[in-house]
Amino acid sequence: MRNFLNLMPSVSQYFASRRDKKADLAMVFGLNCGESIAQMLLCLALVSAGVLHPTAVGAIGAEAASERSTIAQTPANAPAEFAKLLTEMDAAANRRDVKAVMEFYSQNFTHSDGLNSTIMAKALTQLWERYPSLNYRTELKSWKTEGSAIVAETVTTIIGTQKKDGIDLNFKSTIGSQQRWESNKIVKQEILAEQTQLSYGKNPPVVQVNLPEQVKVGQEYHFDAIVREPIGNDILIGSVVEEPVTEKTFFNPSAVELELLNSGGIFKVGKAPATPNNRWVSAVLMRQGGITTVSVRLRVVQ
């Protein structure tokens, strides 16, 4: 499938030639960027799990075994080595060391999205080959002990800027996750919240997204992708796509039809499925000056 970002020059030419023919503007692109939006989100989310070093986990776990504590602890009372090793894990991701990152995971590792360690290693390698300038910064939100296991919640911010065909490509991702450690390895990860924005061009739309973090099964929800600056006489096209968060969607790019937008953004009402799962809700907005995609995870609960 064609690279979505490589379409930008032809899109600009199309805008220029069709400025007086807005009514019949509709195009279909592969929402791909070299991979599907789902795959990119997967790759960005993976390293957010790795926040503890096995040595630190073993030490803290030994203390936990005696105390048998299940009370959530704050970052302020975390052991000093805990905070230090969190920084070291970010450093491993920032130097693109897939092997070092994967040493923190059990071979029987499970993920709320159906991943395993083999898929993770492959996806990280592909991501860092395509986007070599990503910077990871992880913040510890809370930690607790459950018997000899350690459970930690973190928020990881991933920022990157690079040139593509002489034009800036910028993205920012914020991912909240929970990890469970046993026998000095991460054995389980769950993504709690996720938002990723990718922009390309000299003047891409500045977009604000409103979407609840979770809804109940069968519940209606509102998704708003609002362009923050005035559009004026410019042409704005876009669309929204909803994808289930499953292993199959990671490597199967979605196609989306981009249509003329009569207002300054996208405003949709969706309905949650009848069974609990996670969804990605993504908006694509394009103007003559650039492209912005924003994807947010929606958790559907019972």
Q: How many CB atoms lie within 10 A of CB 156?
A: 25
Classify strands 290-301 and 214-216 as parallel, antiparallel or unpaired.
Answer: parallel
Phi/psi at 289 (nearest 5 deg)? -85, -10
If we measure between CA atoms, which residue out of 43, 40, 33, 37 comes closest to residue 119?
A: 43
Alpha-carbon torsion 29, 30, 35, 39, what sign?
A: positive
pLDDT of residue 222: 96
pLDDT of residue 67: 43
pLDDT of residue 73: 75
Q: How many CB atoms lie within 10 A of CB 172?
A: 15
Phi/psi at 22 (nearest 5 deg)? -70, -30
- Written as tens digits, the pLDDT of the chain (302 aa) is 223 333 333 444 444 444 444 434 444 444 433 344 444 444 444 444 433 333 333 333 334 333 434 556 777 776 666 666 677 778 888 999 999 988 878 888 888 888 888 888 888 888 888 888 899 998 989 888 787 777 889 899 999 988 877 888 888 999 999 988 777 678 899 999 999 999 989 889 999 999 999 999 999 999 999 999 888 788 899 999 898 887 666 666 567 788 899 888 999 999 999 999 999 999 999 998 899 999 999 999 99
pLDDT of residue 233: 81
pLDDT of residue 66: 39
pLDDT of residue 256: 74
pLDDT of residue 41: 46
Q: Specify whether the CB–CB gap between 239 and 257 falls below 8 A.
A: yes
pLDDT of residue 85: 67
C-alpha span between 98 and 44 (Å, rounded):
13
C-alpha span between 298 and 221 (Å, rounded):
10
C-alpha span between 123 and 259 (Å, rounded):
31
